[in-house]
Structure 1
Amino acid sequence: MAHNLQTSFYFSVSISGMGSSDAAFQEVLGLSKEMGSEDVVCGGENRFKYRLPTMTTFSNLVLKRGVTTDESSLIAWVKDTLDDGLANPIQTKDIKVRLLDEKGNVSMQWDFIAAYPVKWSASDLKSQDGEVFIETLEFSYRYFEVEDSRSPQMDLYA
């Protein structure tokens, strides 16, 4: 049985209202969601406790890229959001992360709804290294949806 494994290095990012030059990232982190649980002790029965499901939580979306000398509407949005505090309403944008197959077709897509920047950080400055200066952008969002357009998987339980 042959498996065509999907690679993780061929992807694209797009942010609503931003040009394609602001969507070149080298790394995407935070594609996860987790359902929490709550322990409930049963009255009179001390040998065990129930673990009941609670709400689903999402980790922040983290995008990393090399810093360029060009003007960036993405960085302007990040700066306005982080520097203004809550003096002005936070502008949200939708962010799409697409995993591409070897032909450049979308095989999976994550849609992050109503995202806004919550953190900006940069790599360390080191005179002895010749590495690219990397900025890391972190976003919170309302929720995300996953679209999976890969060919249907074989039903292992048939």
Structure 2
Amino acid sequence: MSMLSSLFGKDDYPPSAFYFKVVLGATLGMTDASFQEVSGMNAELDTETVIEGGENRYVHTLPTGMKSRSLVLKRGIAPFHSPLVLWCRSVFELDFIVPIVAQPVGVYLMNVHRLPIRAWSFANAYPVKWEVEKFNATSSEVAIENITLSYTYSNRLI
């Protein structure tokens, strides 16, 4: 049995979606906080319809480029000193006095041995929406914040 098959054995397939980590470029590889959910990890093309002159049986659908991309991070409201909170504050609360700093973001799906079994990188990400979910006096749920990041492109690494 090879080392890779022992690290990525049959216990890792199909992978579970509940054990993952998110790493921001500004945190120097450290995880910022525990996230409840990550969504928006997709790729989709914009297309245009072209009708060919003289051929009326069908139309062509041609790619024009990638659709806008958004990565949504959902977690309990983080402390004031969190690198992600500081990054969001620099974008949303400083009235563009300082330039928006884009940074790479990594999402890693982990196995039971705390090793990444799948990984995605998101280039030039920056916050475009920072939302606190509603508070409800009749519920005992954790206060949640959603942070939407726009990014240039993504790659699956593993």
Return the match for 2:17 from 8, 15, 21.
Answer: 8
Label 1:73 to 1:126 Cα distance change in 2 as closer, same or farther (>3 A): same
Asked whether the 8 Å contact 2:69–2:151 carries over to 1, the reply is no
TM-score scaled by structure 1?
A: 0.84
Asked whether the 8 Å contact 1:33–1:58 carries over to 2, the reply is no
TM-score scaled by structure 2?
A: 0.84
Report what 1:146 is aligned to: 156
Q: Which moved more, 1:6-15 or 1:101-110?
A: 101-110
Runs of 4+ in 1 over 6 A off after TM superposition: none
Return the match for 2:59 from 25, 35, 49.
Answer: 49
RMSD over aligned Cα, in angstroms?
2.0
Count of matched residue pairs: 147
Percent identity, aligned pairs only, is 34
| Distance in 1, Cα, partners of 2:109 & 2:147 | 19
Label 1:109 to 1:88 Cα distance change in 2 as closer, same or farther (>3 A): same
Asked whether the 8 Å contact 2:21–2:31 carries over to 1, the reply is no
Asked whether the 8 Å contact 1:92–1:115 carries over to 2, the reply is yes
Label 1:117 to 1:70 Cα distance change in 2 as closer, same or farther (>3 A): closer
Gapped regions of structure 1 (runs ≥ 5): 149-158
Asked whether the 8 Å contact 2:22–2:31 carries over to 1, the reply is no
Gapped regions of structure 2 (runs ≥ 5): 1-9
Asked whether the 8 Å contact 2:125–2:150 carries over to 1, the reply is yes
